[in-house]
Amino acid sequence: MTFLAPGWLYALAIIPVVVALYVLSRRRRARRAAALAAQGLVPTGQGRYVRRHVPFAIFALALALLVVAFARPTATIVTPKRQATVVLAFDVSNSMGATDVKPSRLGAAVTVAKEFVSKQPSSIKIGVVAFGQGSLVVQPPTTSHTEVLQAIDHLSLGGGTSIGSGILTALDAIAGKSLTVNIASLKNDLAPVSVGYYGGSTIVLLSDGEDTSQVDPVLLARVASVAGVHVETIGFGTTAGTTVKIDGFTVATSLVPQTLQAVSKVTGGTYHQADGSAALPDVSKSINLHLAAVKTHTEVTGAFAAAAAILFVIGALLSLAWYGRVV
């Protein structure tokens, strides 16, 4: 326990003084009672000697608690809280500018993501990752969902697509550090991969599934699985596809659900076909909320003041009931 105004603790020195004054007053009262008893004016052997001091002991304790309350004590309180971390990984490659879904694949992904964020409780940390040929953390996981929505608004298109890079960067965001993964070792054995365990975390991958990199995204999905992270995938676009203008060239593009299905399956997640906000309920249910012990440093002045007030009342009531006075 710490104190915001520790100088008040010096006032505890008054307690021994009060006790000493009480003892002196009791002795004087005892001498007067003995003198009167010798003259036959009061009865002797009134008994219940210990009980006579109970109200004062309660008052003294209440006074000590009141002094501690003035010192503004703080304590670290551990409370269980339902928590989870979700990273929204957006495909911002050029193909996401296709308009086979309105207003565009990326536009639809932004709409779905914003509605998803708005439905989450404040206990969920949400981060944002953007990936094209490379990837970056746009917003580290935070409980400030307003910041998350602002980060989503700043997404822009460009480049090719590396879904694997997006998954790895999303894992970085969850871990809060840059993870080292030897891609070559993933093709044969997962044993060398040790990135830590982040159970209760989910990556929501929003993409059209087209991957133009040399890295199999399923390999990175296996890393996520080892780390205890589910990958929920949401596909944008149509399998019939359309064309999109890239650097003056017309390029055909279509939704590739097989890639997204394989990624989610490896991690125990599910694939969702976006149709407006139809995918939202399923994704929301997939988030693994877990109980975590949260330590908060809290001022507990009120508790000490309340305890002091209760003790003062108890002492007063006992004194009135036993002796007809509040002393």
Calpha distance 36→206 (Å, rounded): 94
Higher pLDDT, 110 or 289: 110
* pLDDT at residue number 289: 56
The pLDDT assigned to 47 comes to 46
pLDDT of residue 61 exceeding 50: yes
Of residues 215, 221, 187, 218, the one with CA closest to residue 203? 221
Q: Do residues 120 and 86 lie in contact, with contact meaning Cβ atoms separated by under 8 Å?
A: yes
Does 167 have pLDDT greater than 90?
A: yes
Choose the weakest-confidence range: 17-31, 154-168, 211-225.
17-31
Q: Give 196-249 pLDDT, tens digit per residue.
A: 889 889 999 999 999 999 889 999 999 999 899 999 999 999 999 999 998 889
The band of 131, judged by pLDDT with boundaries at 50, 70 and 90, is: very high
According to DSSP, the β-strands at 2-3 and 73-91 are: antiparallel
Indicate the pLDDT class of residue 82, thresholds 50, 70 and 90: low
What kind of architecture, by CATH, is found in domain 92-288?
Answer: 3-Layer(aba) Sandwich (3.40)
Average pLDDT rounded to a whole number, residues 170-190: 79
Q: Residue 135 above 80 pLDDT? A: yes
- CA separation, residue 280 to residues 8, 116, 121, 176, 204 (Å): 55, 6, 14, 26, 11
Contact 226, 195 (CB under 8 A): yes
Torsion sign, CA atoms 303, 308, 313, 319: positive
Per residue in 85-99, pLDDT (tens digit) is 999 999 999 999 999
Helix axes 163-175, 257-267, angle to 10 degrees: 30
| Domain map (residue ranges) of the chain | 2-75+298-323, 92-288
- Mean pLDDT, range 114-128, rounded to an integer: 90
Q: Tell me the pLDDT tens digit for each residue of 259-274.
A: 999 999 999 988 988 7
How large is the average pLDDT for residues 117-144? 93
CA distance from start to end of the chain: 33
> Which pLDDT score, from 0 to 100, does residue 186 have?
66
Of the two residues 90 and 115, the one the predictor is more confident about is 90
Mean pLDDT for the chain overall: 85
Q: What is the dihedral of CA 106, 110, 113, 118, to 10 degrees?
A: -170
What is the C-alpha to C-alpha distance for residues 248 and 29, in angstroms, rounded to an integer? 106
Q: What pLDDT was estimated at residue 250? A: 93
Beta bridge partners of 91: 131
Residue 98 identity (one-letter amino acid):
A
The answer, yes or no, to whether residue 276 has pLDDT greater than 70, is no
How confident is the model at residue 165, as a pLDDT?
A: 94
CA neighbor of 258 nearest in space, from 286, 218, 219: 218
